[in-house]
Amino acid sequence: MKIWCSFGRFILAISILFTPKVLLAVEAFTGTYGINYGRIADNIPSPDKVITLLRAAKIKNVRIFDFDHSVLQAFSGTGLELVVGLPNGYVKDMSSNPDHALTWVKENVQAYLPETHIRGIAVGNEVLGGTDQSLFESLLGAVKNIYNATKELQLDKVVQISTAHSEAVFNNSYPPSSCTFKESIAQYMKPLLEFFSQTGQLREYMIRKHDLHYDNMLDAEIDAAYTALEDAGYKKMEVIVTETGWASDGDQNEAAATVSNARTYNYNLRKRLAKRKGTPRRPKSVLKVYVFAMFNEDSKPGPASERNFGLFKADGNISYDIGFAGLKSSSATSFFLSLKDIQAQEVIRKQTLEMAQKEVGNVRVDPLGDDDAEELAARYRTETRMVGVGEPVGQSQASALIVAPRPISQVEPDQWHTKADKSTITAADLEAIREKYQIPAEVELLLPTSRERPSDAKPGEFSLYEEALKGGLRLPLPQVVVDVLNRLEVAPRQLMPNAWKILLACASAWPKANGGEAMAVDEFFSCYKASGQQETWVTLQAVMGRGLVAGLPTSIKGWQPRWFYVSANE
């Protein structure tokens, strides 16, 4: 959905995710944040250097608008999640020629798997509601043939199919509760949605239809799309924002296209996504966004603003600072960061880890290079079960075991193995705890309801045992500690003793090596890797065998009855 608010670009994709009920189904989007990597320019960095920037910024999800082989090859072995585009110029051919669709998937997707993590194919871009109405009737056929090709090649459980639409498909988008598809579009849209609903096992969403309040335009526009889907009879579908951004420069009549406005919008967008929340209409559906765009593209037609949406300039410098931890200049006087500065960040991390090692004695802390915190957290939140000896179901984590992954979200509270999952803490207990442990007034202690469980902590909160306070833990916690607990969805007691040493030592050492700047959660996670042990649970292990966490929130060893929530608001 494209909406121009001054020079803010909003484009939502009605992206129907194919997630059949199989153990190895993969989603095309990890976490909440992605980026559009457009290349309509003659002066931007080569794909291999782009990989360096993406890793430094810790951006895992990337969307391209074509299927350029040099890009697909560059992404090989990086672990980055890629969505490729089938340009509009191919839609008619793919619609009328199933054999061409099969060949296209073979040559441009299958040939690069599994080394290149191609997780999605976007068929066309803003076809419905666009200027070329001759493509309207061809879109569904193209989607079907591309999907059937992935199914024939047994890629349909790995590669998802979607298509993006602009706001031109809607009658109106405000107020969000009244949004519907245009009648002229509905005749093409509904068969498309019906096909998506039949080919994917989509989850149901709780819908609230009244008393919805909005404090930003992005949430309102996303909920407008959800309303239109519900009105059309497809309330199970998920919306992914495929483009949203703000131009940092423009023509004389584009006064709002400034560096200050662009930084404000994109910085606040990152903060919004970091909360991992949904919209007022879909509060439990975490918002997923591809920011527009990676680079300023000097060859794009149109007004000057079109060439200035990039988070990066063509030479690899950041256009403005929006808080990417890996892209902060090591110089206090330098605002911009170049590709060369990324190497300096590696030096800072090495110095930090050396300092941390000294502070924790003989506990060795080593960097792991390109490990990604999002992947670690996702692997941690994967429950495993023993199914006996034989051929592996999924990826075998140990030679004598077969481990079948199952998302933790499928474990309902009433199925948990522990009887001590409900809190026995009372309001009077919280008052006594605050007084006994001298907890500052600005730290909010929250009483769980009878239906809430420790792993139900909302963004900005974490679960805490009274036992942890008895053991010496004091509030407030450093922000990086709170962020680690939030990312893993665990309570402090579930971190291993050595993990506390390393975490607190790194939190102390990082500012000393980084000009006083506090350590970020992704920087801490770069010291760890996921490792499957000969146990029931997946763990996170340090290089030298120093554990980070053991067990899952559903483990009987993990939870005790006297727990409560702590608000981690800064």
SS3 label, residue 86:
strand
Record the tokens describing residue 339, joined without a space: 């590709």
How far is residue 241 from each of residues 186, 283, 567, measured CA to CA in Å?
Answer: 21, 16, 29
Cis peptide preceding 47, ω within 30 of 0: no
What number of helices (H) and strands (E) belong to the chain?
A: 15, 17
Q: Which residue has the tokens 């030298």?
A: 544
Q: Which residue has the tokens 């500052």?
A: 440
Residues 6+ apart with CB under 8 A from 111: none
Which runs of consecutive H residues, i.e. helices, occur in 97-165?
98-108, 136-152
Looking at 81, 126, 297, 374, which residue is catalytic? 126
Residue 473 and residue 493: Cα distance in Å, rounded? 10
Looking at 81, 167, 221, 243, which residue is catalytic? 243
* Annotation marks residue 126 as catalytic: yes
Q: Exposure of 28 by Cβ count < 10 A (0-12 exposed, 13-18 middle, 19+ buried)?
A: buried
How far is residue 513 from each of residues 331, 373, 510, measured CA to CA in Å?
Answer: 12, 21, 5
- Give the amino acid at 497: P
Torsion angles phi and psi, residue 324, rounded to 5: -65, 120
Record the tokens describing residue 66, joined without a space: 């074509």
CA dihedral 273, 277, 279, 280 (to 10 degrees): -140
Residues 6+ apart with CB under 8 A from 180: 170, 171, 172, 227, 228, 231, 232
Residues with active-site annotation? 126, 243
